[in-house]
Chain A
Amino acid sequence: MEAQHAAGSWTEALWRRCYETVVRARTYDEMAHVLQRSGKVAFHVSGIGQETAQAAAACALNTETDLFFPYYRDYAFMIALGMSVDELMLSLFLKAADPNSGGRQMVGHFGCKRLRVFTGSSPVATQIPHAVGAAYAARLRGEEAVAFVSFGEGSSNQGDFHEGCNFAGVHQLPVIFFCQNNRYAISVPERWQVAGRIVDRAHGYGFTGVRVDGNDAFAVYDAVRTARDRARAGEGPTLIEAMVYRIQPHSTADNDLLYRTREEIEQHRARDGCSAMRAYGIEAGMWSMAQEDALRAQCAHALKQAIEYAERAPYADASTLCDHIVAEGGQR
């Protein structure tokens, strides 16, 4: 990792942005779990174990120009783009001021025009053709945008993955397909989802595929940055398969010990990208335990305030049920 850091373009500021994002996402996620278990919120779906890949990917993109199509575990990605913990908490508490959907959708169904995050849904992989279409629109208008779409390995089996990749390959569109292979599609393990490697599919679509260790922030960053440069140079899409592990159950409604062992989970927890990043930062002299403690305290404080704020915030008024089914007023 040392060599990669030195060879890459990581500054201390970049490392810090990435690491702090990972910690903010991790502490948010752990708190969301506690809130659900204590009956404060209805549901949570976790991204723990995937934050390093998400944060590193976001750091390699341009938040001013690029177009984002995240999936439902992308908390670190969203935090890196600029969604606040207050906003995530409003979403978790299903309140009217939730910028993603005003409490209309489940948590994790991101969408925020301000952050160039396109609205997503629950049927998986549907966002993949959207990313391709937005990239096509960007090209038609001569914009510099690159579309970045993330999804799990389970989603890679949907027709929309294939149709989207093929379309983007044929038209050499500026799209980064970012598969977060967390080894489980709810309970079905990777080996019962795919017979080959997801990354190898890229060749069939006529573009480059790269597999990276998702716990290695430098490797993910390099892969996304290279993919972005390629897209910007008109060299078409890239499929990145980031190998991660879903530490938490699929959602708060899932008992993961029905299909995997504690030992397996603990093995992967030991390889957690968050700890690896911290260890690297300390070793490189960029971080100290005092800074770690200060960051954790800041996160805890921000979460406490966000919870108080979200708890007090109003739900959508019942009278708004039929709002925004179609546009008010006529043609534009």
Chain B
Amino acid sequence: MKYIEAIRQAMYDEMARDERVFVLGEDVGKGGVLNTTQGLRDAFGSARVLDTPLSESAIVGVAIGAAMHGMRPIAEMQFADFIFPATNQIISEAAKIRYRSNNDWEAPLVIRVPYGATGGGALYHSQCPESVFFGTPGLKIVAPATTADAYALLVAAVRDPDPVLYFEHKKCYLSISGSLSPDPVRIGQANVQRVGTDVTVITYGVVLHDVLRAAEIAAARDGVSVHVLDVRTLQPLDTEAIVEAASHTGKVMIVHEDNKTGGVGAEIAALICEHALFDLDAPIVRVCGPDVHAVAMSPTLEKAFLINEEMLVRAIMTLARA
């Protein structure tokens, strides 16, 4: 099963299981511009697969109102790049509904956010805006990288009593396949993707797969053993798993596609410093998107922005020798 099919299947299964669940967003009726909601309108009707006006703040605001009135909406942002008009509804409203009402009200909604560079998306169809929301109390943020996690974390998000931002990397849609796991995944639970002894890489999103390939190359070419932790949930971060993974090798590299400055990696590094500084044998290394807005349309500039396998192998080797 492909990653995109897992997302679709999770929505289908949750809508079939619970009639409070409905999907709303731009063009979701026809299947979505990225095809994630294909077939849902035929199965559940246009009232539960609701085409909205082109109006992101209303998509989230309406979802909040429906969630407070007992529904379990899944609101789709067509592209992560277009989430910003809804930011006030997400940060000022959804995130604070429970706290500000002293637990009288809750807003159990999911906001699906297709993010990241796929090639040819340019500045406004490629961004990784997770750091804008990261650190906002009351929000949960997940970012699955595998098919099994795409399914399990979407199911967990729909069933969660609080607002969840579900970051789905567009490059994973068709390029990542796998089987579904019968085991549920708890929000806030990282996953060791590869066991190793020399260098620990902590990552999330599509670059996990670049990291895993780089780890194979480093092992085959230079005999370097790489330990890989996929955090899967950005908020709350799995501090215990991060500290354990860092201490396991004493050499830590953090990888994400989002910009380096103020990215989630900065918080991961801070957690390691707080809890495991004396277990480290070398300074923490971050391999992240440069502090450029996003990829450009020009293929040369796009390539120069993105993290690739070679870059990762070099960084792993340098850290292994440090």
Contact = CB atoms under 8 A, between A and B. Distances in A.
Interface of A: 67, 98-102, 104-105, 109, 111-113, 118-119, 121-123, 126, 128-138, 140-141, 147, 159-160, 163-164, 166-167, 170, 323-327, 330-332
A167 B69 contact: no
B68 A130 contact: yes
Contact of A331 (B71, B103, B161): B161
A107 B69 CA distance: 24
Given A111-B101, A113-B104, A121 B93 contact: yes
Contacts of B302: none
Given A102-B102, A140-B47, A163 B57 contact: yes
28 contacts: A100-B101, A101-B101, A102-B102, A104-B99, A111-B100, A121-B100, A122-B92, A123-B88, A126-B89, A126-B92, A129-B58, A133-B67, A133-B69, A133-B73, A134-B66, A134-B68, A137-B65, A160-B58, A160-B61, A160-B89, A163-B53, A163-B58, A166-B58, A323-B103, A326-B138, A326-B162, A327-B161, A331-B156
Most buried by B among A105, A109, A131, A331: A331
Contact of A67 (B69, B101, B160): B69
A330 B156 CA distance: 10
A166 B55 contact: yes
A167 B161 contact: no
Given A121-B93, A121-B100, A326-B140, A133 B159 contact: no
B99 A325 contact: yes
B65 A118 contact: yes
Given A129-B57, A327-B161, A121 B96 contact: yes
A327 B187 CA distance: 13
A121 B156 CA distance: 28
Contacts of A104: 99-100, 102
Interface residues of B, number: 48
B53 A119 contact: no
A164 B70 contact: no
B100 A101 contact: yes
A133 B104 contact: no
B27 interface: no
Given A67-B69, A167-B53, A99 B22 contact: no
Nearest to A69: B65
Interface in B107-158: 108, 137-138, 140, 156
A159 B101 CA distance: 24
B71 A140 contact: yes
Contact of B68 (A99, A102, A118): A118
Most buried by A among B93, B98, B102: B102
Contacts of B52: 167
B97 interface: yes
Given A136-B50, A332-B108, A332-B159, 17 more contacts: A109-B100, A111-B105, A113-B104, A121-B93, A121-B100, A123-B88, A129-B57, A130-B64, A130-B65, A130-B93, A133-B73, A163-B58, A166-B55, A167-B52, A326-B98, A331-B160, A331-B161
A132 B65 contact: yes
- Top 7 closest pairs, chain A to chain B, by CB: A129-B61, A133-B65, A102-B102, A130-B65, A133-B62, A163-B58, A119-B101
Most buried by A among B105, B138, B162, B186: B105
A326 B106 CA distance: 9
B106 A137 contact: no
Contacts of B61: 126, 128-130, 132-133, 160, 163-164
Contacts of B161: 326-327, 331-332
Contacts of A112: 104
Nearest to B61: A129
A151 B88 CA distance: 17
Interface of B: 22, 47-48, 50, 52-53, 55, 57-58, 60-71, 73, 85, 88-89, 92-93, 96-106, 108, 137-138, 140, 156, 159-162, 186
B62 A136 contact: yes
B102 to A, nearest CB: 3
Given A126-B61, A163-B61, A167-B53, A136 B105 contact: no
B100 A133 contact: no
B65 A99 contact: no
Most buried by A among B70, B92, B93, B105: B93
Given A111-B105, A140-B48, A327-B161, A129 B89 contact: yes
Contacts of B55: 163, 166-167
Contact of B85 (A100, A147, A159): A159
A166 to B, nearest CB: 6
A332 to B, nearest CB: 5
Contacts of A138: 69
A278 to B, nearest CB: 36
Contact of B66 (A105, A133, A323): A133
Most buried by A among B93, B101, B140, B186: B101
A327 B106 contact: yes
Contacts of B138: 325-326
B159 to A, nearest CB: 4
B85 A134 contact: no
A133 B64 contact: yes
Contacts of A331: 156, 159-161
A105 B65 contact: no
A170 B53 contact: yes
Nearest to B71: A137
A258 B156 CA distance: 54
Contacts of B57: 129, 159-160, 163
Contacts of A323: 103
Contacts of B60: 129
B100 A119 contact: yes
Contacts of A126: 61, 88-89, 92-93
A327 B104 contact: no
Most buried by B among A126, A130, A170: A130
